[in-house]
Copies of this chain bind each other. A is one copy, B any other.
Amino acid sequence: DFLNALHEIIPAFGASTDDLERCRLNGMVDCGPSGSGKTAMSATVGIDSDFPYVKIISAETMIGLSESTKCAQIVKVFEDAYKSPLSIIILDDIERLLEYVAIGPRFSNLISQTLLVLLKRLPPKGKNVLVIGTTSEVSFLDSVGICDAFSVRFHVPTLKAEDARKVLHQLNVFSEDDTDVAAEALNEMPIKKLYMVVEMAAQGEQGGTAEAIYSGKEKIKLSHFYDCLQDIVRY
């Protein structure tokens, strides 16, 4: 449903600039709990778009850099984007880019100001930039004023029991009857944690059964599945 929405926006975005050359950057924030698939979704949009310029800005590639070096790298990505008629910039985990911690709170104002200006700045004539931001800390971004710079907002939902059932069905690691029961226990679970608990359960109580399970020869025992579920920390 929300993936459809995203795919709808891309052609619209592309078209508008061709026609009117009046459109400016049109970002969006995907908000959701940790591991709900925000990064995956943004990346998918980028890859599916066939835009000539797609770039992800992530804290992972900037570990240990100084604030000003990070700023320079971010500015560089935007400048490069302006050279292409159509480009997508993904700001992944914006709170991490801003070096945010809740205590204080502390964060880099240098990077905040840079993003605030870049997100409002119009690209040169005939150039169009779509900025997609992901975050788990919407209320922090809001108080920094970064949310205002995005016009569209999506909330990535956790999986319902119904969704979990579909995933488990496809993985085919439970017996027919157990699938529904297990799915029920996975209600409201982020997708990443769902994968993790299935993987732990697939090893079996003594370990070593994963191959058998994934090849379909054996099934996960429900009681062991519950034990694994217990160990996993819900957020």
Which A residues lie at the B interface, using CB under 8 A? 5, 8-9, 11-12, 14-16, 18-20, 22-23, 26, 34, 59-60, 63-64, 68, 71-72, 75, 96, 99, 101-103, 105-107, 109-110, 112-114, 116-118, 120-121, 140, 143-145, 147-148, 150-153, 193, 195-196, 199-200, 202-203, 205-208, 210-211, 214, 231-233, 235
The secondary-structure label for the interface of chain A is helix
Query: With a CB–CB cut-off of 8 A, which chain B residues contact A235?
Result: 148
Residue of B nearest to A234 (CB): B151
Contact of A34 (CB < 8 Å), options: B5, B72, B148, B196 = B148
B12 touching A101, Cβ below 8 Å: no
Chain B residues with Cβ below 8 Å from A206 are 11
Inter-chain contacts of A148 with B (CB < 8 A): 34, 235
Integer count of this chain's copies in the complex: 6
Partner of A121, one of B60, B75, B101, B121: B60
Let me know if A15 and B203 touch, CB within 8 A. yes
Interface residue from B22, B106, B199 paired with A195 (Cβ < 8 Å)? B22
A114 with B231: CB separation less than 8 A: no
Q: Select one of B22, B64, B116, B200 contacting A12, CB under 8 A.
A: B200
Cβ-defined contact, A199 with B112, below 8 A: no
Within the complex, the shortest CB–CB distance from A14 to chain B, in Å, comes to 8
Q: A96-B117, A151-B193 are in contact. Are A144 and B202 (CB under 8 A)?
A: no
Given known pairs A105-B103, A109-B106, A113-B96, the reply for A15 and B208 (CB within 8 Å) is yes
Indicate if the CB atoms of A19 and B116 lie closer than 8 Å. no
State A152–B193 Cα separation when bound (angstroms).
11
- Extra 13 A-B pairs, beta carbons < 8 Å, given A12-B199, A34-B148, A59-B117: A8-B207, A11-B206, A12-B210, A16-B199, A16-B210, A23-B199, A63-B114, A96-B116, A101-B144, A101-B145, A103-B105, A103-B140, A152-B232
Please report the C-alpha to C-alpha distance between residue A72 and residue B63 in the assembled complex, in whole angstroms. 9
Question: Chain B's nearest CB lies how many Å from the CB of A33?
Answer: 9
Partner of A203, one of B12, B22, B107, B116: B12
**Given contacts A207-B8, A208-B15, are A71 and B64 in contact (CB under 8 A)?**
yes
